[in-house]
Structure 1
Amino acid sequence: MIDFLKKLFKLPFRKVAKNAAKSHLTPEANRKRIAQDILILAILVFTVFIVRFSWLVVTDSSNGVKLSERATANYSETVTIFAKRGSILDREGTPIATDSSDYSVYVILDKAYVSGDGKKLYAAPADFAKIAKIFKDKLELDESYTKEQLSREGVSQVEFGTKGKHISYTNKEEIEEAAKAVGITGIGFTSHLARSYGGNFASNFIGLAGLKDGDDDTKGLVGQFGIEAALDDILSGKNGVETLEKDKNGQALQGVAKSIVPAKDGEDVYTTLSAPLQIQLEQLIDTALENSGAEEIVATLVKANTGEILATTQRPTFDASTQTVIGPKNDKKSDKENLFYQMNFLYQTVFEPGSTFKVFTLGAAIDTNKFSANSTYVSAPLEVADTIVRDWDVEDVPSGNRMTYAQGFAHSSNVGMSNLQKAMGDEVWDDYLKRFKFGVPTRMGVIEESFGNLPEPNIVAQVNSSFGQGVSVTELQMLRGYTAIANGGEMLEPHFISKIANINDNTERVTKREIVGKPISENAADSVLKYMVGVGTDNVFGTAYNWFAGEPYFRVGGREVSVKTGTAEVANPTGGYYKGLTSYLYSAVAMVPAENPDFIFYMTVKLPSNWTLAFISDVANPLLERAYELKSSLDTQVTSNDRVKEAKITLKDYKGKAPGLTLEQLRRLILKPVVIGSGDAITEQSIEAGTKLGANERILLLTNGEITMPDIYDWSKQDVETLAKWTGLEVIFEGDDVGKVTEQSIKMNEEVKKGLKLTVTLK
């Protein structure tokens, strides 16, 4: 710009001088001529400035720099107000995951770094060996690597890779004390936003949250897996901004804000987990793993009458505070690789359950009047098409034992269950598998939940599924099915959210039990519990009776325990099944007491190096005893404080959305969604978008697929009327004018046609 003006001024003056020399005008005439030229020059320069100024005003930029932003920066500064990530807590408010800080370590090498009085604040070469020794002891850093980093030329400070990051406050203090003890200076720490966990506490279930982009704190924390990832939108909150005024020296005036958009902290999630029970379960499973040498163990305790998950764990797992793997692992991988390779065995892996599945076979057989407790049969090998079904003790008794069907259940007889399945028939048995919702994820609000598979539609697969082979399930699906046995046929959706508290608005949403169907009658469910008692007490046939000790394996304070054991073949990834003396998946389910159970405990032990049922009962018995010690607090319903309002959510429009993902989203909002039809997109919803809803409201979602009759047990009259409107059913209501559905004339899975009459009993 300056060069341009110099040229602009220079050219006219040359012209003026030249003209004056040519004209030989009088001095007065020259002065007039020069005055005219200067006026023209002034007008020209003024025009240039006006054009340039207008251009800057219009474009707000110069050489690619936004002028308004540069100007604003001279007298104000905008900073981010970081939102606090919501905490994850147990049912009583004990913290499980909270925001905190961790540290990365560095060492200063710049010899110019000294204090005001000249004291050395850097690390000298003579200190390197001592620093390497401290880092080896406290951070497990290789000493040669530390010395190599410290010996780098031309750097003012050095860092130490991944092992020099994510250091806890306690570990930081230990390093500082060790350095002080030997007179080392120059070791420093940088603080980073982090998540604090309590060691190994349902680690795979809770998951982890970490920085979105390496060590960049400005982008905040994000859930990586587990509940942390599933509930990330609820936990993460929203950052705010604050604009501060600056003084004449450009320094921000703290506390003098021109404008503030406040941060909205994440909501706190109270889980259904009980810290005392979870801690004890972790300790008991450590012992079981050590004694059994198993490749995998999974154990879960559920409150029977609500479906609340009170404690759950698995091996292998990890310590969330140190992110180190606990239990069997592939030693070719690092801890970090093993950590993120792991899955949540509760709901992300499928397996063939074995004889613990016979609980459902017995329930269906009783419900269809195909089970006669005192009828007898011989447990000899049974030919089914091109395969032979054998009992586990057939080598001990080649001709088979004669036993009643009640004894056969206690003895875990495959032949007895096969006979019951054949008596029901493939179509009826398949119908009951669907009533229990096998092959269907719970959609309780977690992510990447596995489906499992129903048996193939052939006689061999159907028969095999009656004793838990040829059908694949998740642990969570098994627990959902067991709630129907424990609750008089009423099946509950397992859940892990107790309540969600919004500290910004002083509101919360509290979860209530959710009935998702009634696959069998109350009589059938209660009868199954009765026959399960014999599995532990029958000193001749019971597989959970300890013949060596002369007592049941499962004993909980003198209470009757309903139990079922299982031994399943384990599929080999290369084909077929594993072979070997203990190459099985061993399992047991225990419900206590046998009448109106309070608790359901389910545990699986995969491919142990040695086996005894005590590996499971030694976990179940003390854990259930402890649960009874805590029963009064566990029975106390979580309720909203009188000063805290119930949070209302605004329902979105879900039309066109995938039903599965929508179910998960709505359950995270503590609603009760039901999908109708087998389609892949939602076409209608029973509650209009934009409606404000409290917690635990049922919402029906119609899809574009084929419609069969859903299980409408516990539905309201309005829900039934909505179903009728969508399907063209003619409904006849019987019983009370208001209430919930207790009976339906069109059974679950039957075809629905327009004009078909549906009789519904309300109570």
Structure 2
Amino acid sequence: MARKRQSSKSQTATFLTFGAMVLAILGMASVYARVATTHKVDGRDLKAQTQQIYRSQNIIQAKRGAIYDSVGNVLAENASTYTIAAVVKKQTDGDYVKPKQVTHVAKLLKKQLGGKTSFYATTLRDGIKNEQYQVEFSTRGSNLSESDHKALMKLNIKGLTFESHPARLYPNGQFASDLIGYTKTVTDSETGLDKVEGFIGIEAAFNQKLAGKNGIKQTSLDAADKEATKGTKAVKNGYDIYTTLNMKLQQLLETKMDDLDEHLAPEQALAVVVDTKTGNIVAETQRPTFNATKGFTNSWQNLLVQSAYEPGSVMKGITLAAAIDSGNWDASATYKSGTLKIGSQKVTDWNDGVGWGTISYSDGIALSSNVAMAMTEQKMGATTWRKYINKFKFLKSTKSGLLGEEVGNIQFRYPIEQADTAFGQGIKVTPLQMIQAYTAIAGDGTEIQPHVISKIVDPNTHKIIYSAKRKQVAKPISAKTALATRKQLEAVIYSAKAIGSMYAIPNVRTTGKSGTAQIATSAGYSQAGDNTNEIHSWIGMAPADNPRYMMYIVVKRPQKNTNDISTSMSTVFKSVMQQALKMDASDNKVVVSKSATIKVPVLKGENVTTAKKEIAANNLQVEVLGTGDTVKAQYPAAGTKTLQKQKVFINTGKVITVPNMHGWSKNDVTAWGKLADIKINMTGSGFVYAQSVVATTRLDSGVHEITVEFKTPKK
């Protein structure tokens, strides 16, 4: 049969279809060739993206630095939290939760994690019914601690899996939490990995130093598809931060402030203890507070630096110092107390302006008379008084390093405002500013900076990168003025008319100043005498003639037992100050069990006195080589683990003498010889029995080697 000829239209369609297919193939080949050559699609570098993904899987995460107290007790350290899941889909290896095991597994999980057995059983059964691979257990199965993880592992539940997440552990719970701070786990925008980031307190203020820098191992595929290392970036772990806090004193302060908080129910409360010789803040806490391990949900304010307030009569100690220093104070002079008219306005004493008749200025201090201070300000003159406010560094940052530090403000335009500031109204300061100002009164007129960081250590190099030193910030008054001010303030406690007698520390002469401030609102100041709407405070020092410690307590708006405010505050003051004053080096130690090993601290670069205290605090014995002031070398090396009571040798340079080595071990002798750079010849075994060079002999007198004889002690 003859075939029918195709129409011209049909031939044309076939040709066009074939041509389109050829063009499509050529186009795809062109794209493939371009991608193969340039590794780019739509301008995106596929090779670079692949390498980025590969590199993110080879990131070496930096270890966040720890936070310690002054001698090395851990206040914040790295940890892990865990999320659990249960595999419920059948696995060939049998590692899953079988239907018949559901009730048993649910009971085990309930026993360890709490809640109801039915919750776990329902979750497991629903997962099996819906043919899910695995199930999770909501909040019950997330943020689990290391101890929970270990306990669950011991149960050996088939199919139970764990996913770890970086976290932060605060082993002391509620412990200067506002100061130490808190962290959150966030996702790193560069790596996509979880990381811990500071949120408040030291954790936030020093986040960059604590965080460290991640390392990267870069790799690529060569022509033979073999992995080749292109380069690496070493990981740099975060710095360790040592605070100035004393563990024992801080624990006592927390307990006493809990009692005050319970008894007075204040809106806010703060207590700070400062070493007046160094500026070290050795204990600090506030209420409300929180347990950093559990975290918190409310907005937060660090009262030490972020809360400027009108201090009230505590400011009178500053006014007194300024008046004495400028020659405008006569304690025996008299004045009419009660009410002082300034223009159309008036200053009244705290007893509704009644006063106590005509009294001396000394009695005015003892009775905390507002009129006495207003008249003293008038005698000095506003210009002189304002100069002293500036000299004491009010209205300026203390440069604490903590985030959000306020500087305060002042109303000083009119005579009534100028007078008000003399008794602590119309001027706002932070507690840290007030503490800093009073260090001048507590010392020789030199104002020193309070600080909470004692040193920062680089764990990568075992070097101290920062060591706090006593820092003078001003000299607002003379040493003579400081002594006279402290003496006059003793009247607040010991005068016949004193209203602060409850603050006297038994058997220790005490000095200081109480304060009560009305609170400014949009409707004006709170009513005088309304204790529930006032700020109550006390700043005290002891011993009065040469203060060793100073303590500041502030209580805002107490709502209960308002007749006991001074009693409650004085109880905190006396108990904590007594503990502080009787402390010695043995009261400030690293807390470890007898069998536990101790990590040798970083000592190189430290002052010798500080290094000796730190060695003793770590339950170790110190052996000093030389007469220098700074540690040049140490043995064992920083970070080495050792047992309690072992020797730590520090070389300070300059004149080195031979020690009495009797009873030393071979390791001790070897360590000393290495640091002293002297040859040691050893004979026998056991402990040192005799040495060829007499103790106290200077090495620079010509000693080149020492022979040491060892003997084993008789049983």
- C-alpha distance in structure 2 between counterparts of 1:187 and 1:619, whole Å: 50
Residue 219 of structure 2 contacts residue 229 of structure 2 at CA under 8 Å; is this kept in 1? Answer: yes
- C-alpha distance in structure 2 between counterparts of 1:259 and 1:497, whole Å: 37
| Residues 113 and 614 (structure 1), Cα distance of their counterparts in 2 relative to 1, 3 Å cut | farther
Q: What amino acid is the match of 2:493? A: G
Total equivalences in the alignment: 566
- C-alpha distance in structure 2 between counterparts of 1:640 and 1:200, whole Å: 36
Residue 123 of structure 2 contacts residue 137 of structure 2 at CA under 8 Å; is this kept in 1? Answer: yes
- Which of 170, 174, 194 is equivalent to 1:200? 174
1:42-57 alignment runs, 5 A limit: 55-56=34-35
Indicate the residue corresponding to 1:438 in structure 2.
Answer: 394
- 1:593 and 2:543 aligned: yes
Indicate the residue corresponding to 2:444 in structure 1.
Answer: 488
| Residues 56 and 406 (structure 1), Cα distance of their counterparts in 2 relative to 1, 3 Å cut | same
Indicate the residue corresponding to 2:205 in structure 1.
Answer: 230
- Which of 351, 367, 370 is equivalent to 2:309? 351
1:328-347 alignment runs, 5 A limit: 336-338=296-298, 341-347=299-305
Q: What amino acid is the match of 2:209? A: I
- 1:170 and 2:142 aligned: no
Indicate the residue corresponding to 1:624 in structure 2.
Answer: 577
Q: What amino acid is the match of 1:348? A: Q
Residue 77 of structure 1 contacts residue 244 of structure 1 at CA under 8 Å; is this kept in 2? Answer: no
- Which of 577, 583, 592 is equivalent to 2:526? 577
Residue 113 of structure 1 contacts residue 120 of structure 1 at CA under 8 Å; is this kept in 2? Answer: no
Q: What amino acid is the match of 1:95? A: V
DSSP-derived class of the 2:490 partner: helix
| Residues 382 and 146 (structure 1), Cα distance of their counterparts in 2 relative to 1, 3 Å cut | farther
- C-alpha distance in structure 1 between counterparts of 2:74 and 2:103, whole Å: 45
- Which of 338, 341, 362 is equivalent to 1:406? 362
Indicate the residue corresponding to 1:311 in structure 2.
Answer: 283
DSSP-derived class of the 1:317 partner: coil
- 1:209 and 2:209 aligned: no
The normalised TM-score by structure 2 is: 0.71
| Residues 296 and 120 (structure 1), Cα distance of their counterparts in 2 relative to 1, 3 Å cut | same
1:216-255, CA deviations, whole angstroms, 9 ceiling, x for partnerless residues?
9724221111111111111111101124699999999xxx
Q: Cα distance, 1:288 vs. partner?
A: 1.4
- Which of 341, 358, 363 is equivalent to 1:383? 341
Q: Cα distance, 1:479 vs. partner?
A: 0.4
Residue 90 of structure 2 contacts residue 96 of structure 2 at CA under 8 Å; is this kept in 1? Answer: no
1:106-185 alignment runs, 5 A limit: 106-108=85-87, 110-113=88-91, 115-116=93-94, 120=97, 126=103, 130=107, 133-134=110-111, 138=113, 151=126, 153=130, 155-161=132-138, 164-173=141-150, 180=155
DSSP-derived class of the 1:431 partner: helix
| Residues 505 and 73 (structure 1), Cα distance of their counterparts in 2 relative to 1, 3 Å cut | closer
Residue 371 of structure 1 contacts residue 420 of structure 1 at CA under 8 Å; is this kept in 2? Answer: yes
- C-alpha distance in structure 2 between counterparts of 1:123 and 1:532, whole Å: 79
Moved more, 593-602 or 74-83: 74-83
- C-alpha distance in structure 2 between counterparts of 1:53 and 1:111, whole Å: 41
Residue 505 of structure 2 contacts residue 578 of structure 2 at CA under 8 Å; is this kept in 1? Answer: no
1:353-387, CA deviations, whole angstroms, 9 ceiling, x for partnerless residues?
11111100101111111110111223222222233
Identity of aligned residues (%): 32
Give unpaired runs (5+ residues) of structure 1: 1-13, 16-46, 324-335, 547-552, 645-763
The normalised TM-score by structure 1 is: 0.67
- C-alpha distance in structure 2 between counterparts of 1:145 and 1:337, whole Å: 26
Give unpaired runs (5+ residues) of structure 2: 1-13, 16-25, 589-606, 612-628, 635-715
| Residues 631 and 251 (structure 1), Cα distance of their counterparts in 2 relative to 1, 3 Å cut | farther
Residue 77 of structure 1 contacts residue 245 of structure 1 at CA under 8 Å; is this kept in 2? Answer: no
Indicate the residue corresponding to 1:39 in structure 2.
Answer: none
Q: Cα distance, 1:429 vs. partner?
A: 1.3
- Which of 495, 503, 517 is equivalent to 2:474? 517
| Residues 229 and 525 (structure 1), Cα distance of their counterparts in 2 relative to 1, 3 Å cut | same
CA RMSD in angstroms comes to: 3.8
Q: Cα distance, 1:208 vs. partner?
A: 1.3
Indicate the residue corresponding to 2:490 in structure 1.
Answer: 533
Indicate the residue corresponding to 1:453 in structure 2.
Answer: 409
- C-alpha distance in structure 2 between counterparts of 1:76 and 1:541, whole Å: 76
Indicate the residue corresponding to 1:661 in structure 2.
Answer: none
| Residues 620 and 163 (structure 1), Cα distance of their counterparts in 2 relative to 1, 3 Å cut | farther
Indicate the residue corresponding to 1:282 in structure 2.
Answer: 254
- 1:472 and 2:422 aligned: no
- C-alpha distance in structure 2 between counterparts of 1:90 and 1:438, whole Å: 29
| Residues 171 and 126 (structure 1), Cα distance of their counterparts in 2 relative to 1, 3 Å cut | closer
Moved more, 343-352 or 571-580: 571-580
Q: Cα distance, 1:79 vs. partner?
A: 0.4
1:434-455, CA deviations, whole angstroms, 9 ceiling, x for partnerless residues?
1112121212211111121123
- Which of 607, 611, 632 is equivalent to 1:642? 632
Moved more, 623-632 or 372-381: 623-632
- C-alpha distance in structure 2 between counterparts of 1:267 and 1:386, whole Å: 60
Indicate the residue corresponding to 2:614 in structure 1.
Answer: none
| Residues 516 and 72 (structure 1), Cα distance of their counterparts in 2 relative to 1, 3 Å cut | closer
| Residues 568 and 576 (structure 1), Cα distance of their counterparts in 2 relative to 1, 3 Å cut | closer
DSSP-derived class of the 1:265 partner: coil
| Residues 289 and 225 (structure 1), Cα distance of their counterparts in 2 relative to 1, 3 Å cut | same
- Which of 497, 507, 512 is equivalent to 1:563? 512
Residue 394 of structure 2 contacts residue 429 of structure 2 at CA under 8 Å; is this kept in 1? Answer: yes
- C-alpha distance in structure 1 between counterparts of 2:97 and 2:181, whole Å: 44
1:634-666, CA deviations, whole angstroms, 9 ceiling, x for partnerless residues?
89536864238xxxxxxxxxxxxxxxxxxxxxx
- C-alpha distance in structure 2 between counterparts of 1:525 and 1:73, whole Å: 64
DSSP-derived class of the 1:221 partner: strand
Residue 314 of structure 2 contacts residue 539 of structure 2 at CA under 8 Å; is this kept in 1? Answer: yes
- 1:263 and 2:235 aligned: yes
Residue 96 of structure 2 contacts residue 158 of structure 2 at CA under 8 Å; is this kept in 1? Answer: no
Residue 394 of structure 1 contacts residue 400 of structure 1 at CA under 8 Å; is this kept in 2? Answer: no
Q: Cα distance, 1:571 vs. partner?
A: 3.1
Q: What amino acid is the match of 1:224? A: F
| Residues 56 and 606 (structure 1), Cα distance of their counterparts in 2 relative to 1, 3 Å cut | closer
| Residues 214 and 173 (structure 1), Cα distance of their counterparts in 2 relative to 1, 3 Å cut | farther
1:26-65 alignment runs, 5 A limit: 55-56=34-35, 58-61=37-40
- C-alpha distance in structure 2 between counterparts of 1:465 and 1:147, whole Å: 68
DSSP-derived class of the 1:167 partner: coil
- C-alpha distance in structure 2 between counterparts of 1:349 and 1:154, whole Å: 56
Q: Cα distance, 1:531 vs. partner?
A: 1.3
Indicate the residue corresponding to 2:164 in structure 1.
Answer: 191
Residue 536 of structure 2 contacts residue 554 of structure 2 at CA under 8 Å; is this kept in 1? Answer: yes
1:385-440, CA deviations, whole angstroms, 9 ceiling, x for partnerless residues?
23332222357xx4623322112111111111111011112222112111112121
Indicate the residue corresponding to 2:274 in structure 1.
Answer: 302
